[in-house]
Amino acid sequence: MLVGIVALVAASLTTASTASAAASLPCDIYGAAGTACVAAHSTTRALYGTYNGPLYQVQRARDGAKTDIGLLAVGGYANAAAQDSFCAGTTCLITEIYDQSPRHNDLTIEGPGGAGGQDTGVPADALPVTAGGHQVYGASFSGRMGYRDNTTTGVAKNGQPEGMYMITSGTHVNGACCFDYGNAETNNQDTGNGHMDALNFGTECWFQPCHGAGPWVQADLENGLFQSSAGGSQNTANTGITAPFVTALLKNNGQNFFALKDGNAQSGGLRTTYSGPEPTAAGYSPMHQEGAIVLGTGGDNSNGSIGSFFEGVMTAGLPTDAADNAVQANVVSVGYGGPTGSTGTLNPGSEISVRATTACCTSDYLRHRNNNTVITPVSSTLDKSDATWIVRKGLADASCVSFESRNYPGDFLRHFDFQVYRQPMDGSAAFRADATFCPVAGKNGQGSSFRSYNYSGKYLRHYNNTVYIADTSGAHAWDAAGSYNDDVSWVIAQPWAP
């Protein structure tokens, strides 16, 4: 799927904000409220204030070696530099996500199931983000990727109460089944209604009606994604949530009640989208959970979905609304997607905007958009966000650069059939090459020009307000020689939406 056609637009400056983490972390909050965490998974940070163990394990392609990625400090953030060092010159997959709770319900790569074959791990570098002012990595799922633990301890079974939340993204979703986190079957098969109790996030509408276009926080209770006891939505205001970082929450007493909540993980509180009886169909009241934990797929390994995962927990017992609200406040304090602390350069981690130098267009900036509607010169908040990029080490060559979207975490500038798009990184060698650009001095004497890594004679060029990789061969309209040196020269500017 091609998304985010890249074009030019004018914009105006905004200012940055900062955020810092709170001392009492999600599992401390839930524990103090009498609903202890029985699972606590994250690739970005500690979920207990006293945790100082590993967060996840990576394996590199070059020699198959593995290493654990831990924390910068007790109760702190992931040591992404350790991953970068270990994976330098090769690629890595995340092979295990450790449970920070005393239960040690660690997630390993999922095996085949009733609806999907053997999964793979996610590429370790596909989702760089800022959290707590540090660069960390989320887990970006591109389909046929999943993790599971079928031999857990402490997780709810046979109608016991539980709660769960995850931090995900509203900009990296699809309508395939099933991007889940939560309680699933222990044999990777569909064993019947009520045998799952998992969060689902995506645009699949299993039961009508669904309002808006989603994505929605839903409950995967097996054989259905539920927005209410009737299946379909009973809340016309719930049209989904498309924020770059989303808090998704489900709690279920296992007998006669479940609730769904969502929220912007960068600001504000939680919204309850449903609170009421269990589904009316047979098998759901009481529930029949089996106690496995799944991440990224359905209970029977339905593995066609895409999604993002930054952190999530599961509790023993039904959490209070007050505890949920306190956890949301802590999540917001993390500052997911906040400023990197560097601006205006081509150094990795710097936030930039990219200005054209052709005489016609010196107030126009590289900006992504989602369809073929005309982009006007009017500067909007959306334009400013879409025209801001984060410089990353080249996905195919660390001596070059890649450009990550500021408001679509994990999406990069990538050429396909010579046109440039914004797309989620899937970890493939083709994507890595297509999304890598090598800066040289600007061909018109201004700024920089960006040579395609895998088409060494072609450079990023704007042509008729669309961006391509181009040369002067005349093979396509965008390969015209006229104004070429100007069109491929760009000034690296301060970001419009840091």
**Tens-digit pLDDT profile for the chain (498 aa)?**
456 667 655 443 333 333 334 479 999 999 999 999 999 999 999 999 999 999 999 999 999 999 999 999 999 999 999 999 999 999 999 999 999 999 999 999 999 999 999 999 999 999 999 999 999 999 999 999 999 999 999 999 999 999 999 999 999 999 999 999 999 999 999 999 999 999 999 999 999 999 999 999 999 999 999 999 999 999 999 999 999 999 999 999 999 999 999 999 999 999 999 999 999 999 999 999 999 999 999 999 999 999 999 999 999 999 999 999 999 999 999 999 999 999 999 999 999 999 999 999 888 899 887 543 333 446 677 888 899 999 999 999 999 999 999 999 999 999 999 999 999 999 999 999 999 999 999 999 999 999 999 999 999 999 998 999 999 999 999 999 999 999 999 999 999 886
Asked if 188 contacts 114 with a C-beta cutoff of 8 angstroms, the reply is yes
Q: What are phi and psi of 492, to 5 degrees?
A: -85, 115
Q: Provide CB contacts within 8 A for 381, sequence distance 6+.
A: 14, 497
Q: Provide CB contacts within 8 A for 143, sequence distance 6+.
A: 176, 303, 304, 305, 306
Strand extents, DSSP E, 150-291: 162-168, 180-184, 197-202, 216-220, 225-226, 246-252, 258-264, 270-276
For 350-493, CATH number? 2.80.10.50
CATH topology of domain 26-334: Jelly Rolls (2.60.120)
Nearest of 22, 15, 20, 14 to residue 335 by alpha carbon? 20
Q: What are phi and psi of 392, to 5 degrees?
A: -125, 155
SS3 253: coil
User: 């959290």: which residue's tokens?
Assistant: 131
SS3 478: helix
Bin 447: left if φ > 0, else alpha if -120 < ψ < 50, else beta: left
Tokens of 203: 């645009």
Cα 486 to Cα 444: distance, rounded to the nearest angstrom: 6
Tokens of 415: 């050429």
Q: End-to-end distance of the chain based on CA atoms, in angstroms?
A: 28
Cα 168 to Cα 199: distance, rounded to the nearest angstrom: 11
149 belongs to the catalytic site: no
Nearest of 74, 82, 41 to residue 58 by alpha carbon? 82
Query: What residues does each domain of the chain span?
Result: 26-334, 350-493
Q: Provide CB contacts within 8 A for 227, sequence distance 6+.
A: 207, 210, 216, 218, 219, 233, 234, 235, 238, 260, 273, 274
Cα 88 to Cα 100: distance, rounded to the nearest angstrom: 27
Asked if 185 contacts 197 with a C-beta cutoff of 8 angstroms, the reply is no
- Enter the pTM of the model: 0.94
Q: Which one from 106, 185, 300, 324 is the annotated catalytic residue? A: 300
Q: Which one from 162, 222, 262, 383 is the annotated catalytic residue? A: 222
Q: Provide CB contacts within 8 A for 117, sequence distance 6+.
A: 144, 301, 303
Cα 285 to Cα 194: distance, rounded to the nearest angstrom: 8
Cα 323 to Cα 35: distance, rounded to the nearest angstrom: 9
Supply the Cα-derived Rg of the chain in whole angstroms. 23
Neighbours of 377 (CB within 10 A): 12
Question: H helices within 20-78, ranges in order?
Answer: 26-32
User: 């450009």: which residue's tokens?
Assistant: 403
Bin 417: left if φ > 0, else alpha if -120 < ψ < 50, else beta: left
Neighbours of 347 (CB within 10 A): 12
**Cα 361 versus chain centre, distance:** 33
pLDDT of res. 134: 96
Asked if 49 contacts 333 with a C-beta cutoff of 8 angstroms, the reply is no
Q: How far is CA 146 from CA 43, 92, 210, 333, in A?
A: 14, 16, 26, 29
pLDDT of res. 16: 32
pLDDT of res. 18: 32
CA angle (303 as vertex; 282, 266 as ends), nearest 5: 90
Neighbours of 207 (CB within 10 A): 16
Asked if 84 contacts 69 with a C-beta cutoff of 8 angstroms, the reply is no
Question: H helices within 207-304, ranges in order?
Answer: none
351 belongs to the catalytic site: no
